Structure 1
Amino acid sequence: MKRLTKFIDKNISGKKVLGLFILTNVVYTFMLTVTIPKTMEFSNGMKLLDMMPTGYDLDYVRELFSLLGENGRLTYLNNQIPVDMIYPLLFGLSYYLLLGYLLKKLNKLNSVYNFLCLLPIIAGIADYLENIGIIVMLKNYPELTEVAVKSTSSFSLIKSISTSIFFIVLIAVLIALGIKVLNRKTI
């Protein structure tokens, strides 16, 4: 825990946190507006595996990859996945430091709450493992295995659960910080 706190303390200037937050969200916006739609042009409305927070099964992956066709699978592999290999690092680091910054403002960084900063790191690692699984499946298509699909789907679930919990925590911390600021103004 002390290493975690020390790293956050060393790296949480407001400018650094804001810069990383902006960069992270620029990359995310690029994926949402460019690479994902470009790939989905081939999917006949089916969601990409990255966008399935509750997971997927072998039949879904087979149908999606079939609909994507060779051009769609190549677009997924060569356009969407490379950008999504940058995003998890940015997400993990940016939101790790953001939560640390906010916890420090609440004087809670040196408490048990600092472990919550690890949630975006867990989500980022799960995103990388999900991406690796998708790459393997895209490269091996049409030879898809139940094991590859289930393990990749599990990482998708871990990513979505840890991300959801993180954003709930972030909202709670922002509310607590807002209350602290309001209480300070009324004193």
Structure 2
Amino acid sequence: MREFIKRNINGKTVLSLFILCNIVYALMLSVTIPEVMHYSDGMKILDMMPTGYDVQYVKTLFNTLGTAGRDLYLYHQLPLDLIYPFLFGVSSCLVLAYFINQLGKLDGKLFYLCLLPLFSGLFDYGENIGIITMLKDYPDISEFQVQITSTFTVIKSVLTTIYFIILIITLLALANKKLFIRKV
């Protein structure tokens, strides 16, 4: 894995994947999520609830969405959200690896921090599979389905937050290094 990452942290590859990832994310935020939320009567969709949800919330949301809203969720939003976790995981891994490499620390233990977004992407897939299953099973949604899917949502959110904190710290360290070198 380390060698794969090292081979792909050139600026062009990192920037291309970063742009592609953010195009997909922008499409979700500006098109597919608003389409679904049009039917939600102000309720947040499950993907957008970082602290999780319970079975009552899921049933109320799916009922409020109606057939048209559930179909948009299942056939418009979730197909894009099956592409996004891969793009986020890989591009974010490479972005962090690129900056850690700029610090000269990629060969050490900091390398393992680059794997964090890949795990976030895996939990995002767990969340998406759970949401797809619940949408297909509606109205027969079990407490267990919701608990598992909500757990995936929370873990995805925690890992993503930790990743961005690490990225900010890395960028600050890199800026400090660049400023310090210029002053000397």
TM range (shorter): over 0.9
Mapped partners of 1:76, 1:6: distance in 2: 38
1:5-24 CA-to-partner distances (Å, cap 9, x unmatched) read 21111111101000100111
Q: Does 1:92 align with 2:111?
A: no
Query: Where does 1:70-149 land on structure 2 (aligned, <5 Å)?
Result: 70-149=67-146
* 1:50 aligned partner, one-letter code: D
Q: Does 1:30 align with 2:27?
A: yes
Mapped partners of 2:76, 2:173: distance in 1: 40
Q: Please state whether the residue corresponding to 1:86 is helix, strand or coil.
A: helix
Aligned to 2:54: 57
* 1:110 aligned partner, one-letter code: D
Shift of 1:164: 0.2
Structure 1 residue runs without a partner (length 5+): none
Aligned to 2:171: 174
Mapped partners of 1:7, 1:113: distance in 2: 16
Percent sequence identity over matched residues? 54
Shift of 1:184: 1.1
CA RMSD of aligned residues (A): 0.5
Mapped partners of 1:101, 1:185: distance in 2: 21
* TM-score using structure 2 length: 0.99
Q: Please state whether the residue corresponding to 1:94 is helix, strand or coil.
A: helix
* TM-score using structure 1 length: 0.97
Structure 2 residue runs without a partner (length 5+): none
* 1:41 aligned partner, one-letter code: H
* 1:185 aligned partner, one-letter code: R
Work out which of the residue numbers 149, 153, 161 in structure 2 matches 1:152: 149
User: How many matched pairs?
Assistant: 184
1:56-110 CA-to-partner distances (Å, cap 9, x unmatched) read 0000000000000011000000000000000000000000011111111001101
Shift of 1:134: 0.2
Q: Please state whether the residue corresponding to 1:85 is helix, strand or coil.
A: helix
* 1:38 aligned partner, one-letter code: E
